[in-house]
Chain A
Amino acid sequence: MTPGVQRMKVSVDKIDYYLPPKIEDNGLLQSENPDWRMDDIVKKTGILKRHICEEGQTALDMGALAADKLFSSPEERRSIGFLIFVTQSPDYLFPTSACILQDRLGLDRKCLAFDVNLGCSGFVDGLAIGASLIESGLAERGLVICGETYSRYIQKTDRTCRPIFGDGAAAVLLSRSAKPALGPFDFGTDGSGYQDLIVKSGGARGASEAKAPCSIFMDGAKVFMFTMDAVPKTMQAVLDKAGAKLSDVDQFIFHQASKLVIENIIRRLDLPPEKVFLNMQDIGNTVSASIPIALKDASRQKRIKNGDLLMLVGFGVGYSWGSCLLEWGEAS
């Protein structure tokens, strides 16, 4: 059998998110940076405001607050077999943030917990890893938590990144389902683009390369070219594996990169705009958390309903990308 073709008997049972209350809107950016042409910026980003973490608040803190919303009893917490924390904003170099989260959330000591250091593709990757643990029989249910505080890496005068990235966290509860609901998946990696979106400080090599502490660099044009090339291909690959067509998909949930990026994907694939969910306007690009946050909002707004076939597509830093199909389920 071709790897990744089968649909897995795993469902997204619950999903929720947390956004910090502090908000930065474009008026603030304009007042701090009078030379920025905010109208031009907004036309391309589609983002009006973003949530920013409080002083001392970390991705781990926000991830815990998001995951707490999923549980209604201590027994439910103890039933969790794994915790995958997708983040590029860990509390420490070590120990693993997921281990701290296991304790913070009151999960069983038999819980497998680890971090996944991936960005915009990370939710799809985390889903695949978690679903594989369930499908293989190693666990019955588990958590995938995505949290980021990219704002800590962004200088106040960074016109490329500051109008785009927001902080936030999302959590999903995965469990075994009666019928296949998740997959197939398609993944990709192209490390030749690693320098195009990078924070050099903090790691071993970065100690000698970094010019400024905790400063993000993004070559927007190169990342944009990567998305235009890679995203349509991974979407077609998933459809091919599933023996499906674009028209079979009820709703496309993309990583909420920016308006320009998603509009180009819509154009290239001739997607019906009403089938593409966008929510970056008031949230921004929350990196790995953006897809689960969009899923929750799409559900709240009744843009997706039980039985709908969704395509989730993550892409970005690495370069890394991933996509999958998900049948939105009863418990969602």
Chain B
Amino acid sequence: MNEKQVLTTIEKALGLPEGKLNGLTQSSEIAEWDSLGHLSILAALDREFNGKVASIRELASAASVPQILNQLKQHGLLQ
């Protein structure tokens, strides 16, 4: 999976139109990205990565797209 696919996954999880997010987007900029929205993101990422993100606890605190991408990279899940 690449960065673009991760962005699409997050957009779908939040019910956002494609292209709404970019590599710098902060959760505070997106109304739908509240604490409940974040649960949807976590569930969607877990689905896309076949259960491999559940052990990455730092994702629970990630408050932006770059933080999510960084965690996925650190754990070798992103190309």
B residues 39-77 in Cβ contact with A at 8 Å: 39-40, 42-43, 46-47, 51, 54-57, 59-61
Residues of A within 8 Å of B40, CB to CB, are 44, 260
**B39 and A222 form a contact (CB under 8 A):** no
- Out of B36, B38, B46, name the residue touching A228 (CB < 8 Å): B46
Q: How far is A260 from B60 in the complex, measured between Cα atoms in Å?
A: 15
**B36 and A225 form a contact (CB under 8 A):** no
Residues of A within 8 Å of B43, CB to CB, are 224, 228, 260, 263-264
Chain A residue, CB-CB nearest to B36:
A44
CB of B70, distance to nearest CB on chain A (Å):
17
Asked if B22 lies at the interface with its beta carbon under 8 angstroms from chain A, I say no
Q: How far is A106 from B43 in the complex, measured between Cα atoms in Å?
A: 48
- Out of B37, B46, B47, B61, name the residue touching A222 (CB < 8 Å): B61
Chain B residue, CB-CB nearest to A231:
B54
Known contacts A260-B39, A260-B43, A264-B46: A229-B54 contact under CB 8 Å: yes
Contact with B along A209-241 (1 / 0, CB 8 A): 000000000011110111011001000000000
CB of B35, distance to nearest CB on chain A (Å):
6
**B61 and A224 form a contact (CB under 8 A):** no
Task: Give chain A's interface residue range (CB within 8 Å of chain B).
Answer: 20 to 34
Residues of A within 8 Å of B51, CB to CB, are 228, 232, 268
Q: How far is A160 from B38 in the complex, measured between Cα atoms in Å?
A: 12
Q: How far is A263 from B42 in the complex, measured between Cα atoms in Å?
A: 13
Question: Chain B interface mostly helix, strand, loop or mixed?
Answer: helix
- Out of B39, B55, B57, B59, name the residue touching A44 (CB < 8 Å): B39
CB of B63, distance to nearest CB on chain A (Å):
10
- Out of A159, A220, A229, A268, name the residue touching B39 (CB < 8 Å): A220
**A229 and B55 form a contact (CB under 8 A):** yes
**B54 and A225 form a contact (CB under 8 A):** yes
Residues of A within 8 Å of B61, CB to CB, are 221-222
Residues of A within 8 Å of B55, CB to CB, are 229
**B54 and A221 form a contact (CB under 8 A):** no
Contact with B along A248-264 (1 / 0, CB 8 A): 00000000000010011
Asked if A41 lies at the interface with its beta carbon under 8 angstroms from chain B, I say yes
Asked if A267 lies at the interface with its beta carbon under 8 angstroms from chain B, I say yes
Residues of B within 8 Å of A229, CB to CB, are 54-55
Known: A44-B40, A222-B61, A232-B51. 20 other contacts (CB 8 A): A40-B37, A44-B36, A44-B39, A159-B35, A220-B35, A220-B36, A220-B39, A221-B59, A221-B60, A222-B57, A224-B43, A225-B42, A225-B54, A225-B60, A228-B42, A228-B46, A260-B39, A260-B43, A263-B43, A268-B46
